[in-house]
Chains A and B, each alone.
Chain A
Amino acid sequence: MQVVLQILFALVLLGALWLFSKRIKFIRRNILLGKDDKSRNDNSAKRWQQVALFAFGQKKMFKRMWPALLHFVVYAGFILINIEVLEIVIDGIFGTHRIFAPLLGAFYPVFISFFEILAVGVFIACIIFLWRRNVTKVQRFHKREMKGWPTLDANLILIFEIILVGALLKMNALDQVLQAKGAEHYVQTGNFLVSQSLTPLFEGWSISTLVVFERTLWWIHILGILFFLNYVTYSKHLHIMLAFPNSYYADLDTPKGTMQNMPEIQNEVAMMMNPDAAFDDNAPPPPERFGAKDVSDLSWKNLLDAYSCTECGRCTAVCPANNTGKQLSPRKIMMDTRDRVEELGAGIDKNGKDYNDGKSLIGDYISHEELRACTTCNACVEECPVNINPLDIILKLRRHMIMDEAQSPNEWNVMFGNVENNMAPWAFPADDRFNWANNLETKKDNA
């Protein structure tokens, strides 16, 4: 029986890891559908610093203290409780029970007690998060892009974590009861801080019932974790992994106001203004299209951004367009980009690499109205806890909308014409530009 369980465990573990790696490969391939826009491998010291500050340290989360603290508890719990999962995995494969106990000796109960404190923290934080989402209804959790799956996803994961830590605590309690009754295999570990208070619930049970329940909870815990491992890759919770590379590859010192240059247009204009100039042989060939129409026109960093999005909506909560009831929501831009690249990636897997479903990010996912509404104020970029840049995507889509689709509002066309002809966005004659200096008087002359 024991051997069967060990084999079963190994199979389940391998299966879960295989599914996970398949999914990660799919996501990686999808991200690499994006273009390589600029080198992001320079200055690794500074990049690691960003990982430490924003991903590990969650620096930006701490703009809002309470959610930040609760989130930190869940995150620390997630990372550290995984050390206990290591023990579970080893026990599962080798048929041992609590293999770390003899190794750590008297320190073992301290070790487990520490995880149990974290588990209680996670439990409380998840309850509060559920409350915030469903009872107090924090506004940003209820925007239009959150309808349906995104809201369910957020709730599911919270419920899931509550079940997981619950299973862990009960399993530990049952273990201690079994230890006290001197059951076979259950090594003496000493008491665990939190779960010892749960032991009275189970003291009246027979050893065989206790063993069945303890084993069931053990399986629920590990199966839950393996399920979770795969579930996160379909969920906004992917940010627990991608926040790290996303912080690493984020822009370093470029001021946020800088828009990316378009060398192909720069060269074209240079040629136009100076027809005598020799053709630059190194000039890039004219692009298929200007700006971005679909996800494959974006950079891989834009797509990594999309997969890293936590759907927290802090960007949307500070967006002046969204604040005033416009369609634009930076979070929706990120979610749309991710959903579109998932769709395109699945199509490519089915139909080959040149697959074209005739759809695009502009039009089928993001409307012109949304794109027009952006004031380029960078509030969304500033706000994102995991260094996502929604503005970069908006501006690339705008370039396509204006230059390829010629979908410019008429007032903008007038403005473009004025800039081109009057050297100013308004219809004033260029000759009047310096008129302000006529008859300029001051009450006081030089100091």
Chain B
Amino acid sequence: MSKIHVPTMAEMIAKGKTPDVLFWVGCAGSFDQRAQKITKAFIKILHHFNINYAVLGGEEMCTGDPARRAGNEMVFQMMAQQNIAILNGYEVKKIVTACPHCFNTLKNEYPELGGTYEVIHHTQFLQKLINEGKIKLQGGGSFKGKHITFHDSCYLGRANNEYEAPRFLLEKLDAELVEMKRSRENGMCCGAGGAQIFKEAEKGNAEVHFERADQALATHAKVIAVSCPFCTLMITDGVKNREKEDEVKVMDVAELIAEAEDL
């Protein structure tokens, strides 16, 4: 076991260094215990493959996505403008994030407010490094040949047309991808988006995340791979609802890679 020191933007600049990429952690990845594991897994990958990265640390704020989608543009603008001031202050050029909601907001909504960066999702980031030969995975470890299903996050998939990057990584694990009936463009939402995760669902006859988890369980895969911290929380809850949490794991693609690489 060796310790990892996570470099912040502030200390890099103080040392006169410029990171190649800023890792935007996001609120879920920073505060939620389950989502923190995804953050840590991705940090381990960055560290292991000697990526020159930094985080904002305490200077990062919510992108404003949940406020904007709930209809509160005021709060969104306050967050966005403060974040942009910080990012521009550090002259950030490239951002990688493990949260598709942050990804979408940073990539598509900040440019109009004066914050233009190259923004990529962590699955795209890893795909690119592998394709460029800069990192080489050891193979799938315990996931080799295992049945894995993949739940598309709405904000990576439909919102930004990225369906391949996470699947590419699952392929690199030599896992057997079993698709759900609703996948890719037709994938069903986990129920968290549009600020739903921050309130009780409206009255209905079922829970969205239970439905989606049931669809994933119907594939009989032993791992439900996800690419979003909010999907992770929702689907995990849905798996617990069926008391399958001991048999079926819900894991972010970064966690799968970190585990396969034994990091």
Contacts and interface: CB of A to CB of B under 8 A. Distances in A.
B73 A262 contact: yes
B211 A377 contact: no
A101 B25 CA distance: 74
Contacts of A431: 58
Interface stretch (A5-13, A220-228, A402-410): A402-410
Contacts of A254: 108
A156 B8 CA distance: 67
B200 interface: yes
A378 B70 contact: no
Contacts of B205: 324-325
A430 B206 CA distance: 35
Interface in A362-418: 369, 372-379, 381-382, 395, 398-403, 408-409, 411-412, 414-416
Given A256-B158, A269-B74, A377-B193, A411 B199 contact: yes
B158 to A, nearest CB: 4
Nearest to A410: B199
A398 B78 CA distance: 19
A324 B47 contact: no
Contacts of A256: 158-160
A434 B208 CA distance: 32
Interface string B37-57: 001100110011110000101
Nearest to A328: B202
Given A369-B203, A442-B47, A426 B27 contact: yes
B51 to A, nearest CB: 10
A401 B66 CA distance: 15
A377 B189 contact: yes
Nearest to A401: B71
Interface residues of A, number: 74
Given A324-B204, A324-B205, A375-B189, A441 B4 contact: yes
B164 interface: no
A445 interface: yes
Interface stretch (A22-30, A202-210, A315-323): A315-323
Contacts, number: 247
Contacts of B55: 434, 437
A68 to B, nearest CB: 15
Contact of A399 (B32, B73, B112, B160): B73
Interface in A99-139: none
Contacts of A395: 69, 71
A419 interface: yes
Contacts of A327: 202-203
Contacts of B58: 430-431, 433-434
Nearest to B199: A411
Interface in B168-200: 182, 185-189, 191-196, 198-200
B158 A379 contact: yes
Interface string B141-185: 000000000000011001111000000000000000000001001
A378 B159 contact: yes
Contacts of A350: none
Interface in A239-277: 254-259, 261-262, 265-266, 268-270, 272-273
B135 to A, nearest CB: 7
A273 B112 contact: no
26 contacts: A266-B113, A273-B82, A318-B188, A324-B204, A369-B202, A373-B202, A373-B204, A376-B194, A377-B158, A378-B154, A408-B71, A412-B70, A415-B70, A419-B62, A419-B75, A423-B61, A423-B79, A424-B61, A433-B30, A436-B29, A437-B6, A441-B1, A442-B4, A444-B48, A444-B262, A445-B2
The 4 closest A-B pairs by CB, nearest first: A257-B159, A325-B205, A402-B71, A376-B194
Interface of A: 254-259, 261-262, 265-266, 268-270, 272-273, 290-291, 318, 320-321, 323-328, 369, 372-379, 381-382, 395, 398-403, 408-409, 411-412, 414-416, 419-420, 423-426, 428, 430-434, 436-437, 439-447
